[in-house]
Amino acid sequence: SQQGEEDPQALSIQEGENATMNCSYKTSINNLQWYRQNSGRGLVHLILIRSNEREKHSGRLRVTLDTSKKSSSLLITASRAADTASYFCATDANGNNRLAFGKGNQVVVIP
Amino acid sequence: KAGVTQTPRYLIKTRGQQVTLSCSPISGHRSVSWYQQTPGQGLQFLFEYFSETQRNKGNFPGRFSGRQFSNSRSEMNVSTLELGDSALYLCASSLTPLLGGPGDQPQHFGDGTRLSIL
């Protein structure tokens, strides 16, 4: 089964608001990563959080990881129109030397 | 530093043909992974190469193959194309795969090759 399932699937917010999206996974992981993809482009790495970490920040991004609930969340604070994109979480599925991606969250920030 | 470069950006083929896609990783990166992205299935792992060796392969038929050259550039080939092969094919590179594989470090993606099968 595919690891990483984001929730909600689509989110539309006003510029300046915060956006939160969640990701759940089914089996144990070593790391979880978040990526952004703008329309028609490749994925851009945002944050990597290891299984022994609970929270990580990068600029306006905040990622949490709850290994007991097998879930992670990505928070974008003070959103901007340029944050409009799809956001994916990815996990190292059982150490199989591959990244398993979720279906992605589409975020639209309205100016 | 130049990013990951994929060529061509767009490709149109017909059923039964074959296609070769190219990926040049970031200079110094020795690990290259390939993914297929479709609206229905999302991002699916195809294979990973390191030092010219395939380290891992996803659940794709044998029509999908790849290779890596000594300069770390990689190609993937799809033979006997089917309509369902229409997708965005993404390549990603990283410095080296650590013990845990690509999950241990960020993957740097190219902008992909959009393959359309008629």
DSSP state of B4: -
The neighbour count for residue A7, using CB atoms within 10 Å, is 13
For residue A29 the two structure tokens come to 């992981």
Rounded to the nearest angstrom, the minimum Cα separation between A79 and chain B is: 23
- Is residue B100 very low, low, confident or very high in pLDDT (cuts 50, 70, 90)? low
- Is B45 in contact with A92 (Cβ distance < 8 A)? no
Average the pLDDT over B79-102 and give the result: 84
Which chain B residue lies closest to A93 (C-alpha atoms)? B103
Q: Cα–Cα distance between A89 and A66 in angstroms, integer?
A: 14
Residues forming a β-bridge with A56: A63
Per residue in B35-59, pLDDT tens? 999 988 899 999 999 989 998 899 9
Residue B111 has pLDDT above 90, yes or no: yes
Secondary structure (3-state) at B84? helix
Among A109, A101, A77, A103, smallest CA distance to A8 is for: A103
- Pseudo-torsion of CA B7, B12, B15, B17, nearest 10°? -40
Spell B66-77 as b/e; 16+ CB within 10 A means b: bebeeebbbbbe
Distance CA B83, CA B34 (A): 19
Mean residue pLDDT of chain B comes to 92
pLDDT digits (tens, 9 = 90+) for A62-72: 999 999 999 99
Judge contact between B73 and B22, C-beta under 8 A: yes
- Contact B91/B74 with Cβ under 8 angstroms? yes
- Partner-chain contact A95 B42, CB within 8 Å: no
pLDDT of B7 over the 60 cut: yes
Residue A2 predicted with pLDDT over 50: no
pLDDT digits (tens, 9 = 90+) for A32-86: 999 999 998 999 999 999 999 999 999 999 999 999 999 999 999 999 999 999 9
The whole-chain average pLDDT of chain A stands at: 88
Q: Residues B15-38: what's their mean pLDDT?
A: 96
Numbered residues of chain A with Cβ closer than 8 Å to any chain B Cβ = 2, 29-31, 33, 35, 40-45, 48, 88, 90-93, 95-104
pLDDT at A94: 59
Element (H, E) at A50: strand A43-50
* Structure tokens that stand for B22 in this block: 């190219």
The mean per-residue pLDDT over the stretch B4-19 comes to 97
Specify the pLDDT at position A27. Answer: 84
Return the percentage of chain A with pLDDT > 70, whole number. 88
Quote the tokens at residue B27.
């200079």
